[in-house]
Amino acid sequence: MFLSTSFAILVVFSFIVYRYFKYSSSIIERDATKPRRLPTQWLIGIIWTAGLGAFHESIAKLKVKYGDLFAIQLGRGRITVISCTDYVRHILADRNTYDISETTNQKGSSKDGDTLRQAFNDVIKCANRFALMASIPLWIARLRLALDSKFQRALCILRQYVMHIIHAEQKRQCEQQQQRVAKPKTLIASMVAAAENDRLETDSSKASLSPTELFDEVSLSMVAGFETTSTALSWFFFFMSKYPDVQAKIKEELYRHGLTSDAILTLEDLDELVYMECVMKEILRYAPITAGIVRQATRDDVINDIIVKKGDIFLIATQNMHRDPRYWKIDPMKFLPERFLDEDKHPTPYAYMPFGGGHRACIGQDLALFEFKIAITRLMQRITIEDAGNEANNSGGFIQRITCFPKHVAVRVYMDSDAKLPA
């Protein structure tokens, strides 16, 4: 009797809470001539955060049902999902109204190779859990990180290394300034110089970084390349095992430019590998590597006829646009690197954004593409990747964390010899 009564009370309470959130977040202006508040799919948010499928799969299904613009309620937070280039252009072009969301900033209280590597791994694992805590208030998620001893220990190690890099660069720039030597054009040098300008100058119109922002930016430039590049390489192995004709064309291009296994790569050689670059672009388009782009409204706005409130979070579903037939001339559901040679060489603006867009686009995208191209070129100079067939599970699938990587990859790797290259 007690259990049945408790269960009934729980059901009634859950229904009341559901109706409250549904009503409070779904008020629509009935006058069609006036802007309206986008209705919130509150229950969908609960289902989504339950971990049913990978992120891009869930968002693609919701897009089919609710269209290019829909809102979901995650706990007390509201996220608007966007899958249309017109809306994306509005958000990314207005840097004064839409900026990076605070839900993407993991603030903590802020030996050698192995120690740093382990610290990176621990930070990534904890960041994965943080990213999946979107259904609870942000302060609780941050409290969870603050009480996580492994994360705090890893963050401490990371802070030591990053601050050592920053202090060494500050010292070097100070010495160069005294000797009047030309400043090097490196990412870290530019960020440190910006922080120094903030400390020495009072002109608020100049771009500058606070010490906290400097630490965050240097750390992010290290951590971001740690996971995304390895994820892209994982997808490369999987796709090469499934598309041997693509792999054969890569090797043919390498042979045509004389890039055998013992050849030394130069920048000129890499620039000549046009088909290789198409393969890279297609992997970044077809594979759901990153979760999407997050922006937060810093003030009220109106998108088309939709009211935007200050603090609203927008999730730009890049994978939806990467596979939207409205924006691609060749079937976007097919893995075809050749699309970037002709018909889809110049995609619709904002339809292809593997590195984000706007003023918050990935600052390391050129470096990431450069190292990705070197890595797969060196691999294709020396090895052949084949599907393991029925002997192993090479079915792909998805594991969703900060990045989305293949779940089942089992391939055979053979070392090439010059005799096997095409005549």
Which of 179-183, 197-201, 233-237, 327-331 has the least mean pLDDT? 197-201
Q: Note whether 273 and 253 are within 8 A (CB).
A: yes
Residues making up the annotated binding site are 362
> Quick one: DSSP state of residue 81?
E
Tokens coding 84:
């249309």
Residues making up the annotated binding site for heme are 362
Residue 247: the pLDDT is 97
Which amino acid is present at 105?
A: N
Which of 11-20, 213-222, 286-295, 398-407 has the least mean pLDDT? 11-20
Residue 346: the pLDDT is 93
* Residue 221 vs residue 166, higher pLDDT: 166
| C-alpha R_g of the chain | 25
Q: Note whether 251 and 244 are within 8 A (CB).
A: no
Tokens coding 219:
């750390």
Tokens coding 277:
């670059």
74-103 in b/e form (b: 16+ CB < 10 A) is: bbebbbbbbbbbebbebbbebeebbeebeb
Residue 225: the pLDDT is 62
- How many beta carbons lie within 10 A of that of residue 332, not counting itself? 21
Query: Which band of pLDDT confidence, cut at 50, 70 and 90, is reported for residue 110?
Result: very low
Tokens coding 107:
């603030």
* pLDDT per residue as tens digits for the range 120-135: 667 666 766 665 555 5
The secondary element (H helix, E strand) that includes residue 307 is strand 306-308
Residue 31: the pLDDT is 38
Across-strand partners of 413? 385
Nearest of 39, 46, 251, 220 to residue 135 by alpha carbon: 46
Whole-angstrom CA distances from 140 to 102, 130, 134, 137 are 14, 10, 10, 6
Q: Note whether 83 and 68 are within 8 A (CB).
A: yes
The secondary element (H helix, E strand) that includes residue 377 is helix 365-382
Nearest of 66, 6, 74, 75 to residue 38 by alpha carbon: 66
Helix axes 274-286, 211-242, angle to 10 degrees: 100
* pLDDT per residue as tens digits for the range 49-70: 445 578 888 888 888 888 898 8
Find the Cα–Cα–Cα–Cα dihedral 208, 184, 366, 213, rounded to 10°: -30
Residue 7: the pLDDT is 61
Q: Note whether 386 and 411 are within 8 A (CB).
A: yes
| CA gap 325, 148 in Å, rounded | 44
For the chain, what is the mean pLDDT?
78
* pLDDT per residue as tens digits for the range 362-411: 877 888 899 999 999 999 999 999 999 877 899 999 988 778 889 999 99
> Mean of the pLDDT values across residues 283-289?
94
> Mean of the pLDDT values across residues 130-141?
62
Query: Which band of pLDDT confidence, cut at 50, 70 and 90, is reported for residue 108?
Result: very low
Residue 34: the pLDDT is 57
Task: Please state whether the predicted TM-score (pTM) of the whole model is above 0.85.
Answer: no
Query: Which band of pLDDT confidence, cut at 50, 70 and 90, is reported for residue 254?
Result: very high
Q: Are strands 306-308 and 36-37 parallel, antiparallel or unpaired?
A: parallel
| CA gap 259, 271 in Å, rounded | 13
Residue 14: the pLDDT is 62
Considering the domain delimited by 29-420, tell me its CATH architecture.
Orthogonal Bundle (1.10)
Residue 144: the pLDDT is 76
Q: Is the pLDDT of residue 48 over 80?
A: no
Q: Note whether 40 and 72 are within 8 A (CB).
A: yes
Mean pLDDT comparison of 19-33, 105-119, 205-219, 230-244, highest-scoring range: 230-244
Residue 250: the pLDDT is 97
Across-strand partners of 72? 41, 79
Q: Is the pLDDT of residue 343 over 80?
A: yes
| CA gap 53, 65 in Å, rounded | 17
| CA gap 42, 75 in Å, rounded | 8
Tokens coding 117:
């590597």
> Quick one: DSSP state of residue 77?
E
| CA gap 42, 12 in Å, rounded | 17
Query: Which band of pLDDT confidence, cut at 50, 70 and 90, is reported for residue 275?
Result: very high
**In the chain, where the domains are located:** 29-420
> Mean of the pLDDT values across residues 291-304?
88
How many angstroms from the chain centroid is the CA of residue 296? Answer: 16
